[in-house]
Structure 1
Amino acid sequence: MKKLHKWLSLSAVSSLVFFLAACTSPAPEETDSATEDKLQVVTTFYPMYDFTKQIVQDSADVSILVPSGTDTHGFEPSAKDVAQIQEADVFIYNSEEMETWVPSILESIDTTDVVIVNASEGIELLEGSHSDEEGHDHDEEGHSHEVDPHIWLDPVLAQEEVSTIKEGLAEADPENEAVYTENAEAFQAELQQLNEEYAAAFENAENRTFVTQHAAFAYLAERYDLHQVAISGLSTDAEPSPSELTEMATFIKDQDVNYIYFGKTTSSAISETLANETNTQLAVLDPIEGITQADQEAGVDYLQAMRNNLEALKLSIY
């Protein structure tokens, strides 16, 4: 769509030539090349990509910066990525607390013709301490969070993000606003169904505590009155100290914890160490920051990954 602006001047000059030629020549067949020039949308990581695709369907071209199966927390955009954002009509990210590199990128490019969408706008973020119930003060070098950015793991807040994304798309492409609105509402209905499935599953649960390596599930835990206990912090590169690991091992034994959860796109070494020490089983609880290519080819999307997480959590709760 942005391409249209770049050749309007040339088009104005050539229009006169075509007008004069039309006086003596048959009118050329109309083309729809302009309508084929779809909205160009760049998203940061998988949930933003999937939410956007659900809204636009075939009405826009959507790309993703973070490669499949990559740990989002360690991602740094390349010069090519920055150029891709510059050339986009719409750039969509979750939050400055998640994609900590976004502010500097936006300062370095001309965003005059790019609609910037912060999907978490208007959502109150939890403090980082809420995600680590053991209260560990982890030393996180590089990528760190003072607040918890994992909003998309709450199906209710995900609906709010979908609304914000839809508004940004409509601003950039008002001609398709009705399409975007209809698709967004249909997807929000699916997210609401997901919310109801989670609420029903945990309504009468006796045990409400689960142990996870990555402290990514505070929003989900708060929504359904669960208790997340995290081995390490909000950042996947955080490593607990030996004393913290000992503390956690004692907690697992005392509380008769049966499962320790780890994510698909991060190392499970810490979880494996604790599992071996405490004779505890391992299971996957996916932060859905990056669906692997194999899972995508198998039809796994955000909704399916969240349902997989629900089945995994039932192992600890029941």
Structure 2
Amino acid sequence: MKKNRLLAISLILIVSTFLFGCQKEENSSDKKISVVTSFYPMYEFAQQVGGERADVTLMVSAGEDAHHYEPSAKDVARVNEADVFVYSSEEMEHWVDSLLKTTENDKLVVARTADGVDSGHNHGEYEHDHGDHEHDAQLEGGENVEIHGVADHYHTGDIVKLTAELEGNVDYEHWHWYTRANADEEWVTVPNQGGPQFEYEATGESFEVQAVLFDDAHNEYAKSAPVEIVINDHGHDHDDKADHEHGNEAEHDESHDHEHGEEDGHDHGHGAEDEHHEHGNDAAAGTIEIVGRADHYHTGDVVTLVAELKEEVDYEHWHWYTRTSENEEWEVVSGQESDHFEYKTTGESFEIMAVLYDDDHHTFAESEPIAIVIDDHENHDPHIWLDPVLAQEQVKVIRDAFIEADPDGKEVYEKNAEAFIHELQALHEEYEAALKDAKERVFVVQHQAFGYLAKRYDLEQIAVGGLSTEVEPSPSRIAEIGELVKEYGVPVIYYQQGANSAIAETVANETGTKTAILYDLEVLSKELQEKDLGYVEAMRENLKSLQLSVQ
């Protein structure tokens, strides 16, 4: 009897152990890893790799800027509980370092997808890799271009005016000008410099410049030796006399030390009008709204803004004020005395405010200060994901991170990643087939987001930096864009997703072009959601749009 009881107990233990093991295995397979992703492309790539085995969430939602996103306490809490955090790079998501410093999650696996990409080479918007156009043999023209007009040194804010002169006589007119900080840096194309004349506003750093002449097939015909442009402010602000002695032919307002176009972007002399601008007055503060601001600008972009008053008045005396920080005094911007503000950026972020005065020159209304953010991505183009080949490398980084966090899911993650990589490779081959025989390879964009894509398919991206779709540009700005369109013979100006507005149509009509949309995929926009476009589908739409110019 005792023996039978022991046998029964043993059988119960064996069956229980077996059932418990099955239940444990089932629970293990059902458990999803928790994945937090920074912005849209990382979100979709992670979903593709994780499939049903990963619970993937997105931090930067529609309408938010991935560059300058501020993680909330909820975001920090989510990352603290996550198994994996996926982001692209610090050039794109500047806030990641501070986010990770605030987390206390020892098990967190961090996937920096740019680690899968050789980011040592800058594929930025203005970069034009000389290697694409150099011949193995000596250039036809050799180094027989000379640059004239170089002064011994310049000050910050001076206009550097140079001329490239070719020794021989040829009919080629397609010039490019390149700059670099020093011999260890890559050459970067200077925008809007398509002829032998070069005009460039000096910022605060010395640099080298080179002129290159291309033939009709866009091969390098001849180029100059690098020339050094020395910026020397002598440790203090320069005066008008020095400006003119060292090549700055811009006129200076007698009541101001500098024009707004200089390095710090401000007029440094307070005229009598400034004395009327007191923030403690009875002005209807905040009744002016400034429209047209982009989330960020690059050096050389044109900031175009409009001050909109909420009520109709006959006053027309406007002033615009800027400052570099809250600790600085507001300074009036010369030459900006209407409700429109147009300014070519140098290299420094600043705040701006619009003020409307009455007929007695008392403040009638003023706007809240807004920030104009200059972000050159530390000379790196962060839009890696717009190259379908490099996107494959990002997917591999995510795959490996998932395997590290969840070794039991290795087979699932590898299978999912392989399928998506195959899809990305097919997308790449579609681009190659569609663009390889195109004669016209230049496309003009509103925002310099497509450098990697242009590099991959041997295209040239030209940016009309700062072109707003909320504020109609001035006639001079439209003329400038028109010259660019004429120079490159482009039929289309590309705007970012959802930006084909009436303003875009105005620019198109004035310059004789059409408009089209290119998706930069920085956000999961409402437009993408409404059209049910994923990464691959949106990139195919981009290819169709590009073929309007690249033919």
Q: TM-score, normalised by structure 1?
A: 0.82
Aligned counterparts of 1:241 and 1:95: Cα–Cα separation in 2: 36
Aligned counterparts of 2:452 and 2:51: Cα–Cα separation in 1: 28
Structure possessing the higher radius of gyration over alpha carbons: 2
1:90-144 Cα distance to aligned partner (Å, 9 max, x none): 0000111000110111112224111011000142332544287617634354462
Which of residues 5, 17, 31 in structure 2 aligns to 1:37? 31
Amino acid at match of 2:497: K
Aligned-partner SS, 1:311: helix
Aligned-partner SS, 2:546: helix
Of structures 1 and 2, the one scoring higher in RCO (CA 8 A, sep 6+) is 1
Question: Which structure 2 residue ranges, 5 or more long, are not aligned?
Answer: 1-11, 129-188, 193-298, 302-344, 350-371
Larger fraction in strand = 2
Q: TM-score, normalised by structure 2?
A: 0.49
Task: Using the TM superposition, give the Cα deviation of residue 46 of structure 1 relative to its aligned residue in structure 2, in angstroms.
Answer: 1.0
Which of residues 76, 85, 88 in structure 2 aligns to 1:91? 85
**Closer, same or farther in 2 for the Cα pair 1:314/1:191, shift >3 Å?**
same
1:125-170 Cα distance to aligned partner (Å, 9 max, x none): 3254428761763435446212100000001101111111111111
1:266-293 Cα distance to aligned partner (Å, 9 max, x none): 6868745532431321100110112334
Aligned residues: 293
Contact kept, 8 Å, 2:443 with 2:546, in 1: the verdict is yes
Matched residue, 1:46: 40
Aligned-partner SS, 2:114: coil
Matched residue, 1:157: 390
Question: Which structure 1 residue ranges, 5 or more long, are not aligned?
Answer: 1-22
Task: Using the TM superposition, give the Cα deviation of residue 247 of structure 1 relative to its aligned residue in structure 2, in angstroms.
Answer: 3.2
Matched residue, 1:202: 435
Task: Using the TM superposition, give the Cα deviation of residue 232 of structure 1 relative to its aligned residue in structure 2, in angstroms.
Answer: 1.5
Aligned counterparts of 1:100 and 1:201: Cα–Cα separation in 2: 35
Please state if 1:304 is matched with 2:301: no
Which of residues 55, 67, 72 in structure 2 aligns to 1:61? 55
Aligned counterparts of 2:38 and 2:103: Cα–Cα separation in 1: 16
**Closer, same or farther in 2 for the Cα pair 1:159/1:64, shift >3 Å?**
same
**Closer, same or farther in 2 for the Cα pair 1:77/1:244, shift >3 Å?**
farther
Aligned counterparts of 1:265 and 1:89: Cα–Cα separation in 2: 35
Matched residue, 2:95: 101
Contact kept, 8 Å, 1:263 with 1:284, in 2: the verdict is yes
Q: CA RMSD in A?
A: 3.1
Larger fraction in helix = 1
Please state if 1:137 is matched with 2:300: yes
Please state if 1:281 is matched with 2:514: yes
Which of residues 262, 275, 297 in structure 1 aligns to 2:495? 262
Task: Using the TM superposition, give the Cα deviation of residue 222 of structure 1 relative to its aligned residue in structure 2, in angstroms.
Answer: 0.6
**Closer, same or farther in 2 for the Cα pair 1:297/1:245, shift >3 Å?**
closer
**Closer, same or farther in 2 for the Cα pair 1:168/1:290, shift >3 Å?**
same
Matched residue, 1:6: none
Task: Using the TM superposition, give the Cα deviation of residue 68 of structure 1 relative to its aligned residue in structure 2, in angstroms.
Answer: 2.9
Identity across the alignment (%): 46
Matched residue, 2:117: 123
Contact kept, 8 Å, 2:497 with 2:527, in 1: the verdict is no
